[in-house]
Every structure is written in structure tokens, then in C-alpha cells.
A and B are shown apart, each in its own frame.
Chain A
């Protein structure tokens, strides 16, 4: 379904994706795991074509999105749905209008049919009857569910989730996890999830890819990952502060750095 080949993306001197190769199989749930700053959101943005990589390819249905014309890219996008980290609902539209938005912009479906579709999608995420609410009146978990309903309203073939459970309470996390799995099964949607939530990822994933500072350090089924002998993978799964993944990111001496500043201000005085 989606194939990433030799993908490279850098921001200044930071390498966010370092020659990544991976594939996302059709109708399966693939979870991209990684700590903050490991490049997982960057990878997602390359796959969806929101950003262009420095080099490498992203094949979507055997079409290279990185070399596709704008028109083709936008055509393919109609087969994609995405749930954003902050839900990205349009604040000036109520729930109904938010979900109906892609339908109204892309199709000429009659208004009463649109109403039916929106009701069905809202039922799927368990929010039927709240059509008139504005996004500002919703809790974080409800916003994610509305965002999810909007993402699937065009019946996409692929759906991307950017940190779907971050900032949610345990029950909402469970609800979203179950929704991801249900939608995948019911609608046969290829699912790509970016997350750092180990517990819910293990519950929903068919395949897991673990990123560490722009490199893929492990990929495989949940069991394969659990039994991985890579110390970094184990540290990430157990969430231990001790291990090969360091806490500090700087290689300069702390006290030295402190005193260097003191020196400078002393010099200024003289």
C-alpha cells in the first residue's frame, strides 16, 4: 500500500529521517513508535506529502508522491484521512459542519444525504446527537472523536493518526484505541498511527516500527518487538530512565558551561 524508500529529511543540522525504508501494508494497523524528537511526526508529514523530503521516495499505490504533480498528489489525498494531534477542527463551524465540510467541498451530494452520512459517522464515534455543539464546547477526547469522524467521512483507503492518545485520560485513550481498531476492521482501512503510548500501541498494532533519532531501530509484530534484544528497544518499552538512551542531549560539561558564562560577565565589567 505505502512504501518508503531511502527517505532523508534534515532540518538544518538535525537529521529527522536518516535513509528510512519501511512499508505500511494494506488493511493493517502499523504503529510508528518513538520518543519525542525521534522523527516520527516528520515521517508522517513526508508520507502524506505535507512536506517534501530531501531525497528518497514515498510510494502510495505505486505512485511516487515525492515526484507526483500537484494535481496527482491532491487526487491521492482524497484517499487519505488524517487525525491531527490537536484535532484541527475548524473553530468557526459546529460539529455537523465540520464533518460535512469535505463532502460539501468535494461532492455534490444532496443536503439530506449529507445529513445521513454525518449521522452515521458520528454514531461510529459515539457522538450522535451532538451535531450542534461548537468545537470550543468539547473536551479533548471528544474533539479527537469528531476529528476522527471528519477523517473518515470521505471513506478514505488510508487513515493517519498523529499521536491520537496524547493528552487524553485513560478511558478516552481506551476509547480511541478501540475506535482505531474497529474502524480498521469494519471499513478495511489501512491505518498508520504515530504514537509514544506503548500500552495502547501494543493493543492495536499489527506491526510496529520504532524510530530513534531518525533511524528505524526495530520493526515487526508486537511479539517480535516485545522479545527484541536491542537494549534501546527494551528501554523504550519499559520506560526506564537508565539505559543506552541518554537523558541529556548535550556533551558539554554542565559546570564548565555555567562558569564560562560567569567569565564573560566578569570580563565585561573590566
Chain B
């Protein structure tokens, strides 16, 4: 702990320090000294350090700095008293090594980045990221097309393993989320619809919403959180461990060897999971309708009569695209993992964020597309 007493006379600004002038100590008196110096009108500064009981490099740098500020205001030479010879030499050394005092120390040094520059930079970064992402996506697509010519070269064993891990094992969570979404949606809409005696139309609402929008979207978001992060972490760890380089040197292309099986598995599993999600979501709605006293057959007929095959196909086609996006984003973010202990975690986070953003964007694109096509 350190303390500072500031005193003015007509010819002198007087600082008396006491206590410990170390890194922690100068923090205590920093602000007071700075303000005192700025408000004082000189024309000289005197510093008394006789009450200081500990003094190290931090203290010396602080004293040298105060001296420099005083000189910068064109004051006379600062008088420092109460220091032993070794500490005086330390201050002297730092003062000598320091830069020439500038006439106005309050002028900003270095140009602060303007708002426009910052925004421009982040847009440029974003465009660059998008560019590499699209290029990588193209590479994966090309690898897929060229391996279609030799289907035997695709690693089907790995593909099935990923399909089980990222697909079959995700069934409980996908089913749970969809069931709850169907249930809640039916329940919330049943209350106002009952006022008009139209609660059976809850079936139409739940059916069309699950099939066209919420089934695919919920599945995709769950998979983004579950699979995209897993892919990014797996591939990211391999990258840090130089295993990707090892594969390359062995003559095995990581894109074909690791990424392609994941993309194929995810593309095939997302629509399948969505079918389950739609079914379970509609069942969730049925629970509400049954509890309102309608028979199940009525609910079933209402759903089947209202939801068309076109709605269903539209929903499922979206899922293929979502599947590609989820797997590709996860793998690409994993592949882009930088070095360092937090890199894999960062890659996983980026994978989830990017894939959810892409899912939302593509869902919007599909809505417009279907609207224009009249599906």
C-alpha cells in the first residue's frame, strides 16, 4: 500500500509519497498523482520519498514517468529527495533510457481505428471466411462426385459407424424435442381455437407445421449441436495431433478419408431422423387432442386429409441439404482448427454457430423457393 500527499505553493507542486512503491503500490497513487500533476501549475515538481519504505523498478519507472510529464509541460527540473543512492541511480537509468519528452504528453499517440475501418475489416474477414468455406465445400462435392465413379473406394465401414453415432444414437433426443414441440404447439393453439369450437383444426396446424417446417428444423438444430460439434472436435484433435498430415503423407486424402464418410452419413441420416421427428411431433399433438375428448381417428383423418405428399416431400428435400450443411460445416471448422489448447473447443463452437446460421439461411431460401414454385 502506498499513499500520496499533494501540496501546492506558488513556485512548487509538492508530492510526498509514503508506504510501498511497488507495482501494487503505484496503482493506489497513480490516479491522484496524474490528476495532481495535470491540475498543478508548476513551474516545478518536487517529490519526497523519505517516507517510502519499499521501492523497486515499478516505483522507479513511476517516478521517472512523473518527471517526464513535468518536463513535458516545460516545468523546471524535478527535485527528488529522500532516496538512497542505489534507487536514485535506478530512477536516473530509467529516465535516461526513456524517450525524449514530447511537448504535449496528452496528445494521443498512434491512430485509433475508426468505426468504418473496423467494420470494413470485419466484413473483409467475413468474406474471406465465406470464400474459403465455399471453396472447401466445392472440394468435398468434387470428392463426392469423383468417388461416385468408384463407389468401392468410399469407406462404407466408417460411413456406417458415423451413421450410427450421429444418426441412430441421436434418435432419443430428436424424438423428445419433437414430441414436446408438437405437444406444446397443440396445447397453446388449442386454447384460443376452443373459443371458436375449432379445436379439431389443431391437427391441421400441428401437421402442416411439423411436416413443412418444425420437423426438419428441429432435427437439423439438434444435429448441429450434436454432430457438427463432434465432427469438428474429432477432426480438430486429429489436426493438432498431426494425424491429418500423417494421413496425407500416407497417400490418403483427408477430404476423402475423413470428411466424405461423415458428409454421406449425415446426408442420409438427417432425412430419416426427420421422418421420425415429424411422426413423434404429430403424436405429441394427438395427446392434446385426445385429452380434449376427440377420438384419435378424427385427429388422424384430419392430419392425413390436410397434409399433402407435396408438403412432406418439400420438408424431406430440405433435410438432405441440412444434412450436407451440418456435416460439411463441422468438418470444415475442424479442419480449420489452429494450434493451441483452446483451439478444438473454439472449432466446435464455430461449427455449431456456423451450421445453425446456415440452417436458418437455407430454411429461408427454401421457404421462398417453395412459395415461388407453389409447393
The answer to whether A266 touches B69, judged by C-beta atoms less than 8 angstroms apart, is yes
Output the nearest chain A residue to B246 by Cβ-Cβ distance: A88
CB of A267 within 8 A of CB of B106, answer yes
Q: How long is the Cα–Cα vector from A50 to B244 in the complex, in angstroms? A: 10
CB <8 Å contact, A50 and B249: yes
Contact residues, B34-71 vs A (CB, 8 A)? 34-35, 38, 61-62, 64-65, 68-69
User: How many pairs of residues, A versus B, come closer than 8 Å at their CB atoms?
Assistant: 86
Q: Is B372 an interface residue (CB 8 A)?
A: no
Known contacts A258-B61, A259-B68; A88/B251 CB under 8 A? no
B251 contacts A267, C-beta separation under 8 Å: no
> Which residues of chain B come closer than 8 Å to A74, judged between CB atoms?
251, 253
Please tell me if A80 contacts chain B, counting CB pairs below 8 Å. Answer: yes
Indicate whether A50 sits within 8 Å of B245 (C-beta atoms), given known contacts A256-B99, A259-B68, A262-B61.
Answer: yes
Q: A105-B250, A258-B61, A266-B69 are in contact. Are A86 and B108 (CB under 8 A)?
A: no
Say yes or no: B242 contacts A270, CB within 8 Å.
Answer: no
Please tell me if B132 contacts chain A, counting CB pairs below 8 Å.
no
Contact B94–A255 (Cβ < 8 Å): yes
Q: Are B250 and A86 in contact (CB under 8 A)?
A: no
Scoring B residues 109 to 147 as 1 if CB is less than 8 Å from chain A, else 0, what string do you get?
A: 100000000000000000000000000000000000000
B243, CB-defined interface residue at 8 Å: yes
Set of chain B residues within 8 Å of A82, measured between Cβ atoms:
245-246, 249
Given contacts A91-B241, A253-B97, A270-B34, contact A259 B61 (CB under 8 A): yes
Nearest Cβ distance between residue A143 and chain B, in whole angstroms?
11
| Cross-chain contact of B99 among A49, A70, A259 (Cβ < 8 A) | A259
Question: Which single residue of chain B is at the shortest CB-CB distance from A135?
Answer: B241
Q: Is there an interface contact between A48 and B65, defined as CB atoms closer than 8 Å? A: no
A202 lies within 8 A of chain B by Cβ: no
Check: A75 CB closer than 8 A to any chain B CB: yes
Contact at A266–B251, with CB atoms within 8 Å? no
With contacts A50-B248, A82-B245, A106-B251 known, what are 19 further pairs, Cβ within 8 A?
Answer: A74-B251, A75-B251, A77-B248, A82-B246, A86-B242, A89-B243, A90-B246, A101-B250, A102-B251, A105-B250, A253-B99, A255-B61, A256-B98, A259-B64, A259-B98, A263-B109, A266-B105, A267-B106, A269-B31
Report which B residues bind A (CB closer than 8 A).
Answer: 30-31, 34-35, 38, 61-62, 64-65, 68-69, 94, 97-99, 105-106, 108-109, 241-243, 245-246, 248-253
Q: Can you list 12 A-B pairs, Cβ within 8 angstroms, ordered by A? A: A50-B249, A77-B249, A82-B245, A84-B245, A88-B246, A90-B246, A91-B241, A253-B99, A260-B99, A264-B109, A269-B30, A270-B35
